[in-house]
Amino acid sequence: MAYLIGEALVGKDEEIAHIELIIGERDGPVGKAFVEAFANPKYGHTPLLAVIRPNLPAKPWTLIVPKVTIKNMEQADKIFGPAQSAVAKAIADAVEEGIIPMDKLDEWVIIVSVFIHPKAKDDRKIYNYNYSATKLALKRALTNYPSWEKIAYDKDRAVHPIIGYRMNHRLWRPPYLQIALDIPDIEKTIQIIKQVPKSDRIILEVGTPLIKKYGTKVIRDIREVAKNKFIIADLKTLDVSQVEVDIAFEETADAVVASGLAAPESLDKFVYEAKRLGIYAFIDMMYVENPIEKLKTLKQLPDVVILHRAIDVETKEDLRWTWIKKIKEEYQGKILIAVAGGITPQTVPEALKNGADILIVGRYITQSKDVERSTREFLLKIAEYTPKEPGDIDLFRVHVE
């Protein structure tokens, strides 16, 4: 064993404890780091041995390193008191409980990074939270927690407590309802967003008319009232694609839309830049006669293809359902498929049955006298098609780590 790593956060308020630790052999890299840190203290971050009380250190030998700069003796007392004792007691109890093997007491050393908020006051809470966090971090280190299965399951569900909402959204759980905010009136658009019911199934599109009137800064304006939503910038890019992707990214867009009528060279740059920045590349196939042939001209596939029946031709024959099946068969789930144009609650079952991943709806919702009711009509239809799936991803979570 070279070393093992563990982390845990326990508690709340200013006394919250965040422990990060490394366990390793005395004659290995952790032992070397232990000695170097101990022999070269940094101002405000003086390392100290974990002791249950003076003259009674824990084993394996453990070095505590404060994360937050200690600026006065009151803050020092929190580290050289409840935190120090809690970490040491957790180490000793972990040995007694068999978490740390008894035969490793004199072979291993531990480095523990301890967070103590400068405004922390309650010594008992500091002790209890740091004890629990240290014990949990030890157990996690020695069991190689988390497994990849745990990471894969939670990475798109997770909300960091400091941020308070999800960042860097991923479209990992279709079907979705994409609301196209096409009305070129920012005040009215904000009112519409406020009436949309909360649901993880809903994503928002900043429509082309809105962007043309206000510029791409309108994306950031919408982000202010929809912080936790996946937001698509419908730029319908035809040229200078990398520049337009960069602009939308800087305005906090999670995805950007290019026109499928653009040259393959431009679309290649568009997809490349979106993937480089970690946002989604949508290609709108409106007026593209053969979407599959267009996709075959590209070096890299987009994340989403939009099969878009234009407003001006909504009364003509609808070939989208046929194209969904053909694209799904050709690319075996490598691309999400969105359908737009004339989507109503009545057409939702047909769209989902044929394999649509995203339902793009504009006027039916945005021009409704009751935005919430109209939106729920779609959500109910989606729920009927996915009866085993909860509407919100945290619905059945009873404990948040």
Query: If we measure between CA atoms, which residue out of 340, 348, 339, 341 comes closest to residue 384?
Result: 348
Question: Is 399's pLDDT higher than 90?
Answer: no
* Nearest residue to 251 (alpha-carbon basis) of 234, 266, 268: 234
Angle at 259 between CA 256 and CA 265, to 5 degrees: 95
Residues 361 and 178: beta-carbon distance below 8 Å: yes
* Per-residue confidence (pLDDT) for residue 388, from 0 to 100: 67
| Chain center to CA of 60 | 37
Core vs surface per residue 298-321: b (16+ CB within 10 A) or e: eeebbbbbbbbbeeeeeeeebebb
- The model's pTM: 0.80
DSSP string, 18-87: EEEEEEEETTSHHHHHHHHHHHS--TT---EE-EEETTEE-SSEEEEEESSPP-SHHHHHHIIIIIHHHH
pLDDT for residue 74 is more than 70:
yes
Per DSSP, the three-state class of 343 is coil
Write out the H or E segment, with its range, that includes residue 218.
helix 217-225
Does residue 30 contact residue 23 with C-beta atoms inside 8 Å?
yes
Helix (H, G, I), strand (E, B) or coil at 387: coil
What are the pLDDT digits (tens) for 89-132?
Answer: 999 999 999 999 999 999 999 999 999 999 999 999 999 999 99
Q: 97 — phi, psi (to 5°)?
A: -85, 0
How far apart are the C-alpha atoms of 49 and 37, rounded to whole Å? 11
The 10s digit of each residue's pLDDT in 328-385 is 999 998 999 999 998 999 999 999 999 999 999 999 999 999 999 999 999 999 999 8
Q: Is residue 317 pLDDT above 80, yes or no?
A: no
Report residue 398's pLDDT band, with 50, 70 and 90 as the boundaries. Answer: very low
Where do the structural domains in the chain lie, given as residue ranges?
3-145, 176-385
What superfamily would CATH give domain 176-385? Aldolase class I (3.20.20.70)
Is the torsion defined by CA of 36, 8, 126, 162 positive or negative?
A: positive
* CATH 3.30.470.20 correct for 3-145: no
Interval 29-61: pLDDT, tens: 999 999 999 999 999 899 999 999 999 999 999
352 vs 357: CA distance, rounded Å: 7
Q: Using CA atoms, how far apart are residues 291 and 285, in angstroms rounded to an integer?
A: 6
Q: Are 300 and 321 in contact (CB under 8 A)?
A: no
Active site residues: 18
Residue 99 is predicted with a pLDDT of 95
Q: How confident is the model at residue 298 (pLDDT cuts 50, 70, 90)?
A: very high
DSSP string, 220-271: HHHHHH-TTS-EEEEEEE-SSHHHHHHHHHHTT-SEEEEETTS-HHHHHHHH
% of the chain at pLDDT higher than 70: 94
pLDDT, tens only, 268-284: 999 999 999 999 999 99
pLDDT in the model for residue 159: 78
Give the C-alpha separation, 400 to 144, whole Å: 20
Mapping DSSP onto H, E and C, the string for 294-327 reads HHHCCCCCCCEEEEECCHHHCCCCCCHHHHHHHH
